[in-house]
Every structure is written in structure tokens, then in C-alpha cells.
Amino acid sequence: TLSCLQDRSSRPQRSPRELAAAEQERICEVRHHTGWGPRLIAGVVGRPHSTVHRTLQRRGCSRRPREPREEVVRYEWPCPGDLLHMDTKRYARFERPGHAVTGDRSVVSRGVGWEYSHSIVDDHSRLVYAEILDSQDAKAVVAFTRRALAFFEANGITVRRLMTDNAWAYTKSKQLRKLLRKRKITHKRTRPRRPQTNGKAERFIIESIEDGAAPVATKPKPAVKPKTTAKAAAPVTEAAAEEVTEEAAEEPAGETVVEDQMVMAIELAVGKTEAQFKSAISVDERFAQSQLLSLAKAGMVTLSLVKEGKLVQVGEGAKAVYQLPE
């Protein structure tokens, strides 16, 4: 390569007005000992703060060095029920799909309200119980915790400890304290501003958001958890959807169009919450000319019906429930 084509520095060869090296050393020394910014240092050295700032930039000490990241501490309790992680996530409601789906930024949903996803994850087995509720107050937390404990007991897990963050509904609720004391469950709290301690619940929320945000036309990501279980408002598991779809596939041809719509609805419901399911039907081209779309908007087709393999009959008997043949 020709030397004339190589990049050269734009810095001038001489800078007669540049601050003396000894004065620059003095500014850097004040910075090192005090940690002050340019304006405070300027008052000590008697120089304009802009000059001090350029000097600090030139010497590479205008920003404090980052603290080294702490080593990740991974742990897992030896038995199911030894520790449960509980957390809550707030989601904004919307009346119609947003620009991520429609591409139209001119229409927004404001003042629709919020939904709150409550989840509990077992530290050892990663078994999850989750619900989407209209509130995150103490009353809702206690009711959710009671149902979650009953769920884990039904699965043969004896709960011994429960970990939460320091939210008011967790730390100040007398009813929650009474419930845990009655069940002989130790309530553990995370250190303030330390969400890593409750990382398993935090990670479950992140994965739920990532899976729920996937485009309708793509297949949801395979579950990372060994087993994820949820109730009415929680996402439909892929295994459950495949089970109902296989039952529908075994039926002879010539069934009504309702059965075909049911199979499509089951496929569409995988990994969706109630709101996501209705939004997915609205934007899916397969349902553009289907009566299923209007029924879903009217609340006659819900995620819970899809989970049970049921669908409101399309036709003259508009409100009859259709059950997939067993």
C-alpha cells in the first residue's frame, strides 16, 4: 500500500496553547484522589472546567473505571419444595394489536389498564404455577399463593421455603404472613436491589415475554424448562395442543368445518395467553373469512375452551358447545 494512501492523524503537529504537562498531571492527580468532576476540580486548580474536561479526556480518566462484575453464583436446592421463587410482572392491556404486528404506529391503545402475571417456580424441579390477574395487591397475592400451594401439594411437593423480593404486598401483608406461618413455610427475602437472588422467577418472566412476542406465523421456541404448568389464563403447553390435535386428526374426513377451525385454533393457542390468543386470531389470515373470528371477539371462543378441545358451534345453533370426538 502506498504511504500516501494511509490514514493520518488530524491532530496538529504543534499545540502552543495546550496546557503544560505539569498542570495536566496536577488535574489528573486531583481527579484520582477526590473522584470529583470537572467543575469541582476547576475550582481547585484555577482553570476553566472545559479545559479540565478536555484534559481528563486526553489522559483517559474522564470516566470512572467500571467495577468488575461479580462472579455468577449458581445454586439449586436438593429437593423439590425446598425453595419456591415468587415474582410478579405487569403487562399493559391493549384493544388491538400494536405496530409490531400491524406496522401501523398511528393507532395506539391508551388507558386500557394493566394485567399482572403472578408466577411461582420450584427451585429444584422448575415446576411453574402462573396466573394472570387484574391486581397485584396483598389480597390478590394471598389468594394466588394459596392456590399455588394447593397446586404443588397436588403434585406431591411439600413446600418449606418461599422467596420473594421486598414488594409491599409480600413484606407487609399480615394475611400472607399468617398463611405461611400456618403452613410452616419460611419466608425468605432478597437483598434490596439484588434481583439475581430471585433469578429463576425473573428468568421465567423473561422467557414468557420472549415466547409470547414471537410472530404468529412462526413456531414457538421449544421450552427450556423440564416442565411448565399453568392454570386458566396461563399459556397453553405445546404437548397439550399436540395431544388434542392428534385426536382430531384420527377422526374420519367429512366432519364439519368447525373441527378444522378447532384444530387451527389449537395450533394458534400454543404459548399464548388469553389476550395474545384473541390478537393472534385477529391477524391470522387463516381466520380472515371465518366465523371463528367474530365469535372470539364476542367472547364465545376463549382460550380455556380451546384447552379443553371445545369450540362454540358455528351455524344455526350459534351458542352450542362443540366437543372434539374422543
Mean pLDDT of the chain: 77
Q: Contact, 35 vs 64, CB < 8 A?
A: yes
Percent pLDDT > 70 in the chain is 67
pLDDT band (50, 70, 90) for residue 212: low
pLDDT band (50, 70, 90) for residue 13: confident
pTM summary value: 0.52
Q: What is the pLDDT of residue 231?
A: 40
Tell me the pLDDT tens digit for each residue of 80-89.
Answer: 999 999 999 9
Looking up residue 31, the CATH number of its domain turns out to be 1.10.10
In terms of pLDDT, which residue wins out, 304 or 180? 180
Within this chain, do residues 180 and 249 fall inside the same structural domain, yes or no? no
β-sheet with 128-133: strand ranges across: 128-133, 114-122, 84-92, 161-164, 186-189
Q: What is the pLDDT of residue 193?
A: 87
Q: What is the pLDDT of residue 107?
A: 80
Q: Give me the mean pLDDT over the 173-186 stretch.
A: 95
In terms of pLDDT, which residue wins out, 231 or 180? 180
Determine, yes or no, domain membership for 120.
yes
Determine, yes or no, domain membership for 287.
yes
Within this chain, do residues 168 and 243 fall inside the same structural domain, yes or no? no
Within this chain, do residues 125 and 178 fall inside the same structural domain, yes or no? yes
Q: State the burial class of residue 260 (Cβ atoms within 10 Å of its Cβ: 0-12, 13-18, 19+).
A: middle
Within this chain, do residues 186 and 120 fall inside the same structural domain, yes or no? yes
Determine, yes or no, domain membership for 199.
yes
φ, ψ of residue 53 in degrees (nearest 5): -65, -45
Q: Give me the mean pLDDT over the 169-191 stretch.
A: 95
In terms of pLDDT, which residue wins out, 69 or 38? 38
Q: What is the pLDDT of residue 116?
A: 93
DSSP label of 285: G
Query: Which segment of 69-83, 84-98, 104-118, 298-312 scores lowest on mean pLDDT?
Result: 298-312
Determine, yes or no, domain membership for 315.
yes
Could you give the CA distance from residue 223 to residue 105 in angstroms, rounded to a whole number?
32
Per the structure, the complete domain to which residue 117 belongs is given by: 84-212
Within this chain, do residues 30 and 122 fall inside the same structural domain, yes or no? no
Within this chain, do residues 194 and 108 fall inside the same structural domain, yes or no? yes
Q: What is the pLDDT of residue 100?
A: 80
Q: Is residue 311's pLDDT more than 70?
A: no
pLDDT band (50, 70, 90) for residue 154: very high
Which residues are CB-neighbours of 182 under 8 A, at least 6 positions away?
Answer: none
Looking up residue 117, the CATH number of its domain turns out to be 3.30.420.10
Within this chain, do residues 181 and 100 fall inside the same structural domain, yes or no? yes
Number of C-beta neighbours around residue 40 at 10 A: 14
Determine, yes or no, domain membership for 225.
no
Number of C-beta neighbours around residue 178 at 10 A: 11
Within this chain, do residues 276 and 312 fall inside the same structural domain, yes or no? yes
Query: Which segment of 46-50, 133-137, 242-246 scores lowest on mean pLDDT?
Result: 242-246
Determine, yes or no, domain membership for 2.
no
Q: Contact, 239 vs 307, CB < 8 A?
A: no
Determine, yes or no, domain membership for 185.
yes
Which of 65, 92, 125 marks a domain boundary? Answer: 65
Q: What is the pLDDT of residue 223?
A: 40
pLDDT band (50, 70, 90) for residue 165: very high
Tell me the pLDDT tens digit for each residue of 99-151.
Answer: 888 888 888 877 788 999 999 999 999 999 999 999 999 999 999 999 999 99
Determine, yes or no, domain membership for 3.
no
pLDDT band (50, 70, 90) for residue 208: confident
Tell me the pLDDT tens digit for each residue of 256-293.
Answer: 455 566 666 766 666 677 777 777 777 676 666 565 66
Query: Which segment of 26-35, 47-56, 66-75, 122-131 scores lowest on mean pLDDT?
Result: 66-75
Q: Give me the mean pLDDT over the 88-92 stretch.
A: 91
Within this chain, do residues 139 and 191 fall inside the same structural domain, yes or no? yes
Give the number of domains in the chain. Answer: 3
Within this chain, do residues 61 and 151 fall inside the same structural domain, yes or no? no
Q: What is the pLDDT of residue 198?
A: 92
